[in-house]
Structure 1
Amino acid sequence: MSAFDLHPYTKGANKELGLHSQTLQEIAREYVTRRKQFNKSRLNWRKSGGVRRSLGWIPINTGAARWKNGQLYHNGHYFNVWDSYGLSQYSFRSGSFNEDARGRWYSM
């Protein structure tokens, strides 16, 4: 299956999950890419315990996020971001929210 083939299965899930539809499409694309990369029919993405547990990852596309009032505005919520590189002067093309092993979230 390609990422395009997964889109009908995720239709309407954005309202239930509270995510942007482009975010779900990006997750489907990444899933298909990694599945082909490792020659697996199914990936074990969510492991909730142990050293090799999965960490959170939420992709951001152009239409899904933007800078407003010095904060990152995504899906109706404002996120405080430490802008050490002056990224607020530029528009988004893509990015992601990533979780570290201690449960803290970062914007990339």
Structure 2
Amino acid sequence: MDALELRKLKSMIEHRMEQLQGEIAEAKSFTSKKLEQDDDPSADLDLTISSSVDEKVLADHKSELKRLSRNLLWLDSDDAGLCRVCDCEIPVNRLLAVPDTQVCISCAD
């Protein structure tokens, strides 16, 4: 991977991290949402039904954020772009498509 490709990948990862951080910061807790809708039974039911989905989405965002953060450090190391399993170079297009991966497509299978 050349310097231009590396900068492009890092920029893409940083942009995605900013998006995730914004979504995490904007997520309201179940309790605060309940307090806002305590006088509307149908909204309360909708909130109860969607709360587990919201929690899962939030957990997934946090997990992706950790993986992306880890990959930024990896991209600054001597092992940048090399598969953690087989030590082969990971094609840049794979890294651009799946920026939180550290394995080649063969090892991912």
> TM-score, normalised to structure 1's length?
0.27
Of the two structures, which has the highest relative contact order with CA contacts closer than 8 Å and spacing of 6 or more? 2
Where is the helix percentage greater, Structure 1 or Structure 2? 2
Q: Which has the larger radius of gyration?
A: 2
